[in-house]
């Protein structure tokens, strides 16, 4: 506990020096450790979230058009870090690294605490999951409120659409190979109104949560 408090204090100093304001969320916390272990339930607990971008429409076509529009350079390849900024439609938006206290990442809490809009918006989120070994025949299992599109290591693997609630494993990708080492997961969530959140985990060939994964947003991805 003392180590974590020291890390938190050091992080606060770093954020203050970099101009990143500390934020208090009901279900999210700022990142205070280099690495985060994925729990036995498999849900990915650490993400870098971009402040919301205006968007609307939850049909397949509307969501695909919204997420494929170029808002900022390298949006499908960038590995953002806490405090990084991009400019969208003349406004500076920040990436913020967060850990979730639950299985899901509450985007409503994220945006509301920053005094940002929560309706008719698009959220980008990125994380880097490390696997100690190659895992063939895995699946990315996701849920979101509302629509979302997902990429693993640069390839679009699944999308779910419409005005929906977050349900665990609501959408499951085709079989894919989880690489040994770093795996980049990217998601765009489009919300119409009200609550908004998402969850994600990897399932193995037996549809059980993949074990032994960690999340590390600090190390460069090779």
Residue range 77-120, pLDDT digits in tens: 999 999 999 999 999 999 999 999 999 999 999 999 999 999 99
Q: How far apart are CA 136 and CA 54, in angstroms?
A: 37
Q: What is the pLDDT of residue 20?
A: 47
Does residue 23 carry a pLDDT above 80?
no
Average pLDDT over residues 201-206: 98
Tokens 């985060």 belong to residue: 36
Residue range 127-182, pLDDT digits in tens: 999 999 999 999 999 999 999 999 999 999 999 999 999 999 999 999 999 999 99
Does residue 5 carry a pLDDT above 60?
no
Two tokens at 152? Answer: 């693993």
Does residue 16 carry a pLDDT above 70?
no
Q: What is the pLDDT of residue 175?
A: 98
Does residue 208 carry a pLDDT above 50?
yes
Average pLDDT over residues 116-127: 98
Range with lowest mean pLDDT among 55-64, 160-169, 213-222:
213-222
Q: What is the pLDDT of residue 121?
A: 98
Does residue 19 carry a pLDDT above 80?
no
Angle at 68 between CA 72 and CA 98, to 5 degrees: 60
Does residue 14 carry a pLDDT above 60?
no
DSSP-assigned states of every residue in the chain: -HHHHHHHHHHHHHHHHHT------SSEEE--SS-EEPPTT-B--EEEEEPPEE----SHHHHHHHHHS--STTTTT----TT-EEEETTEEEEEEEEEESSSSEEHHHHHHHTT---SSEEEEEEEEEEESS-EEEEEEEEEEESEEEEEETTEEEEEE-SS----TTSEEPPPEEEPSEEEEEEEEEEE-SS--EEEEEEE-TTSSBPPS-EE-SSSPP-
Q: What is the pLDDT of residue 218?
A: 84
What fold does the segment set 2-215 form as a domain?
Jelly Rolls (2.60.120)
Q: How far apart are CA 19 and CA 24, in angstroms?
A: 16
Q: Which has more confidence, 217 or 20?
A: 217
Does residue 15 carry a pLDDT above 50?
no
Q: What is the pLDDT of residue 222?
A: 60
Q: Which has more confidence, 86 or 8?
A: 86
**Residue-averaged pLDDT of the chain:** 91
């Amino acid at each position: 506990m003392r180590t974590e408090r020291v890390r938190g204090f050091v992080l606060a100093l770093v954020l203050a020096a970099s101009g990143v304001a500390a934020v208090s969320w009901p279900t999210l916390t700022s990142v205070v450790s280099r690495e985060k272990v994925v729990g036995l339930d498999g849900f990915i607990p650490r993400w870098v979230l971009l402040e919301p971008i205006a968007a609307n429409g939850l049909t397949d076509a509307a969501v695909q058009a919204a997420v494929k529009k170029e808002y900022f350079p390298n949006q499908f390849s960038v590995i953002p870090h806490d405090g990084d900024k991009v400019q969208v439609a003349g406004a500076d938006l920040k990436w913020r690294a967060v850990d979730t206290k639950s299985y899901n990442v509450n985007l409503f809490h994220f945006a509301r605490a920053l005094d940002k809009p929560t309706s008719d918006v698009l959220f980008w989120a990125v994380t880097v999951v490390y696997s100690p070994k190659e895992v063939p025949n895995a699946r990315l299992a996701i849920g979101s409120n509302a629509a979302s599109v997902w990429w693993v290591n640069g390839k679009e693997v699944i999308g779910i659409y419409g005005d929906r609630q977050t349900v665990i494993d609501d959408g499951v990708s085709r079989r894919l190979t989880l690489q040994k080492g770093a795996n980049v997961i990217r998601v765009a969530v489009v919300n119409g109104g009200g609550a908004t959140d998402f969850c994600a985990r990897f399932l193995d060939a037996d549809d059980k949560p993949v074990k032994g994964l960690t999340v590390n947003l600090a190390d460069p991805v090779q």
